[in-house]
Amino acid sequence: MFNRIGLIFSLALIAILTLPSVGLAQKKKKTPVERTIAGIVTTAEEVPVPGAVVQLKNLKTLQVRSFIARDRGDYIFQGLSLDVDYELKALGNGKESALRTVSTFDPHPSVVLNLKLK
């Protein structure tokens, strides 16, 4: 009888001591704190436009940042706040893309917006 009680007590003690470590071993998912907006600037015929100017407007502060599209027509804006709405447009070869918006309601930390010059 005593051995049985001792065994139950030992198992209960082991369970109590190991449960907190199981909880600590689980990794917490990190919530992204920054947004990245990237894409490619193309002509109406889907040809990349290197050197096109992509403008990003912060709709909270009205600050405008510019990026000159690289050789493949690609651009990227990093380190953007998730709590701000943004507008993007591209200018190149005397043409302009449609105005695109990225909203705070979009939960994705990485957004791909391809811009077409018309």
Note the pLDDT of residue 8.
Answer: 58
Q: What confidence score (pLDDT) does residue 1 get? A: 53
**What would the pLDDT profile of 68-98 be if each residue is shown by its tens digit?**
999 999 999 999 999 999 999 999 999 999 9
Question: What is the reported pLDDT for 33?
Answer: 84
- Residue 18: alpha-carbon gap to chain centroid: 37
Q: What CATH number has the domain spanning 34-116?
A: 2.60.40.1120
pLDDT digits (tens, 9 = 90+) for 4-62: 555 555 555 565 655 555 555 556 667 778 999 999 999 999 999 999 999 999 999 99
Reference 87, options 53, 54, 117, 57; nearest CA is 57
Q: Outline where DSSP puts E strands in the chain.
A: 34-42, 53-58, 64-68, 74-81, 86-92, 95-96, 100-102, 110-112, 115-116
More reliable by pLDDT, 28 or 117: 117
Is residue 105's pLDDT more than 90? Answer: yes
Give this prediction's pTM: 0.73
The answer to whether the CB of 53 falls within 8 A of the CB of 66 is yes
Q: Which of 33, 34, 36, 8 lies closest to 110, judged by CA?
A: 36
